[in-house]
Amino acid sequence: MSHAAPLPRGTTGGTRTRTPDVFSPRTHAIGRWALPFAIGLVYGYWVAALRRSGGPITTGNLVYGFVTTIVFTLLLVGFLYVAPRLPRELHAFMWFLFTGTAFGFWFSQSGASVLLTVVLSLVVGVASGLICFYWYYTHEDAEGHRLDRPPADERQILPARARTPLT
């Protein structure tokens, strides 16, 4: 005896839906600084550890690590603010510059030759730039609007409560 094939319960095509936003606007505002700062702390510690080459931890080494953390964090926050407003080509190029420079500075602390540092920085930068360009190219329409979010005029503007200073 034959039976009819079961029908799918959901739609197979159609529009993509965005995942629900479970955090408040205040949490997002804190995260825009906290996450780059945490990444900067790891980066600064790693650069300082490479610079001392297994030697003792000194005050100069700690200061170097914290200055690296602050500079890296400020550059990353500025980059994350500016880059999404650029067309996909420049956005990917900014990632190329940022990752190549960050990797080059990190790798140069190990005492490697300048030529090796430049070559590896270019390889890492080009790889990340190409990956980012591919990502933006496949996740944007022809005009450069991201497919996973509505255009800016259709997005909900933050409520007045969210614009209050963080206290």
88-94 contact pairs (CB < 8 A, 24+): 88/133, 88/136, 88/137, 88/140, 88/144, 89/133, 91/132, 91/136, 92/129, 92/130, 92/132, 92/133, 92/136, 93/129
Is there a single domain that holds both residue 99 and residue 142? yes
Instruction: Tell me which of 121-125, 131-135, 162-166 is least confident.
Output: 162-166
Is there a single domain that holds both residue 115 and residue 81? no
Mean pLDDT of the chain: 82
Domain range for 112 is 87-146
What's the rounded mean pLDDT across residues 11-37? Answer: 77
Is there a single domain that holds both residue 92 and residue 127? yes
Is there a single domain that holds both residue 54 and residue 91? no
Is 37 contained in some domain? yes
pLDDT at 114: 93
Is there a single domain that holds both residue 142 and residue 100? yes
What's the rounded mean pLDDT across residues 142-152? Answer: 65
Query: CB neighbours of 4 closer than 8 A, spacing ≥ 6?
Result: none
Model confidence pLDDT, tens digit, residues 25-72? 888 888 888 999 999 999 999 999 998 887 888 899 999 999 999 999
* pLDDT band at residue 163 under the 50/70/90 scheme: very low
pLDDT at 70: 94
Say whether pTM exceeds 0.75: no
Residue 108 has pLDDT above 80, yes or no: yes
Is there a single domain that holds both residue 56 and residue 96? no
Number of domains in the chain: 2
Is there a single domain that holds both residue 80 and residue 101? no
pLDDT at 83: 84
Is 125 contained in some domain? yes
Q: Which two tokens stand for residue 162?
A: 């969210």
Q: Which two tokens stand for residue 159?
A: 């409520």
Residue 160 has pLDDT above 50, yes or no: no
Is 154 contained in some domain? no
Is 40 contained in some domain? yes
Is 152 contained in some domain? no
Is 130 contained in some domain? yes
